[in-house]
Structure 1
C-alpha cells in the first residue's frame, strides 16, 4: 500500500491512508423535509439525494474514537445523503454539514487537510453496562443528547466504501473512505433524543427533531480507512 505524506500539523506528520483501528459508534437515520435539509447545504455545489419525493435522509453519527492517529476523541457527525450538483442520480454520498469534535488537533487537521467543518465543543460519551449516552454541549448548555442500548452485534460489521462530502471556506471536498457499519440494531422506541439550545439545536428542530429515527445501529471496536480527499 502506497503511503502519501501530506505534511505536518503541530509537529505531527499527517499520512494517508489513515487507518482507524478502533471506535464505538451509534448511527441514526431520520426522514426529514428535503427543503429544510437543502437550506443547510451550499446549494451551488451540492444537492440532496431524495429518498422519496420531498424527503431527505439525515444521518447522525455519534463516535467515540479509541485508536485513531489523530487522537482518542469524540465526534458528532451531522449530514445528509447528497451528491455534487450535476452528478448522476447513481452518485450518493454523505454531505457533512456539522462535525463537532472535542479535541483541538483533530479539528485543525480535519479543517486543513480534509476540508471537514470541524469545530471544538464538549462531547461526553457515558457508558453503563447496558446503555451509552452521547451528549453535545456548548459550554454547560446541552445541545443534543442521545441515549440508547449497547446492542449486541448480530454478525460481523459490514465494511462499505463511500465518499464523504464537505464544504469549508468556499471550497467543496470529496473524501473517499471505507468504514465498518455496525450490526447491533436498536429499536427506534429504545432511543431517547433530547434537543437542547443553541444554533445547532435550532437547525435540528428545523428538520423535525426530536423524533424517532428510521433506523439506529450501534457497534464497538469498529474500524475505518480514510484516503486523502481532494477539492471538487
Structure 2
C-alpha cells in the first residue's frame, strides 16, 4: 500500500472522499485553440466534432475526505489517446462513445483550491496543477454559483441552473484523469458514487474577468452557451496512485 508524507501527515493510497458536491458545465470550444492551450503537456485534445473540442468547468465542495475539507475549481479537456487515431466524422454522441472505447481521458489543465494541505498533496501525489485562489461557492439554492479570484483579480463567475433528475446507480469509473507538472505527465485512475444527479442542455451563465486564465478561456470562445450543465448533490470518490507516462 503506497503512502505519501504531506506536511508531516501520512496519506495512504487510495485517497478517499466520503462526501462532496459537484457542479459544472461543458462547452464545445475551438479544437485548434484547445490544442494550443494543451501544447505544453504533449497531449492532444479530442475532436468530438470536426474542429470542436470539449472543455469542462467544474467546482467542488469537498466536505469530508482524506485531504480534509476544501473548495476546488477545475478546467479540464477531453483528450484523445495517441493510439485512438483520427476522430470519426459522426454525430457528437457516437464520437464520444468511440472516444470512450478508445480510452479517451480528462486532462486537468487548471485546478485552484483554497487550502494548503490539498494543494501540496495534489501536486506531490498526482501532479495536479493545484494553486491557491479565492473560491466563493454558493450552494444553498438550486442555482449553484462559483466565483474564482486569484491575485486579487476576477478569473470567472460561473452560475449553473438546476436540471432534471438523472438516475444513477452504484459506483462509476469515469475516464482516467491526466495531469502534467514539472515536465511529467501522469494518468490517475478514479471512481465516483454520485447521488442526486441533475443535468440539462445549456443551463450555465459565465462571466470572465481580467486574469490571464480568463483571457485563455476567451481565446477558446467563452463565454458562450454551454453544451450542457450538471449538478451532483452528494458523491463519494476514490483516487488511485498516479502512473507516470
Q: Normalising by structure 1, what TM-score?
A: 0.90
CA contact (8 A) 2:122 2:130 kept: yes
Query: Is 1:184 the counterpart of 2:198 in the alignment?
Result: yes
- With 172-181 and 115-124 compared, the bigger mean Cα shift is at 172-181
Aligned residue in 2 for 1:87: 83
SS of the counterpart of 1:213?
coil
| Aligned 1:188-203 pairs, distance under 5 A | 188=202, 190-203=203-216
Q: Normalising by structure 2, what TM-score?
A: 0.86
| Equivalent residues, number | 227
Aligned structure 1 segments of 4 or more residues deviating by more than 4 angstroms: none
Greater per-residue helix proportion: 2
Q: CA deviation at 1:19?
A: 1.4
Query: Is 1:166 the counterpart of 2:166 in the alignment?
Result: no
CA distance in 1, matches of 2:141, 2:42: 44
CA distance in 2, matches of 1:93, 1:75: 20
CA contact (8 A) 1:152 1:219 kept: no
Q: CA deviation at 1:120?
A: 0.7
Q: What residue ranges of structure 1 are gaps of 5+ in the alignment? A: none
Supply the RMSD in Å over aligned alpha carbons: 1.9
Aligned residue in 1 for 2:168: 156
CA contact (8 A) 1:186 1:218 kept: no
Q: CA deviation at 1:164?
A: 0.5
Deviation digits for residues 88-122 of structure 1, max 9, x if unmatched? Answer: 24120001111111111111111111111111111
Q: CA deviation at 1:131?
A: 2.1
Q: CA deviation at 1:39?
A: 0.7
Q: CA deviation at 1:187?
A: 4.7
CA contact (8 A) 1:5 1:13 kept: no
CA contact (8 A) 1:157 1:222 kept: no
Q: CA deviation at 1:72?
A: 0.9
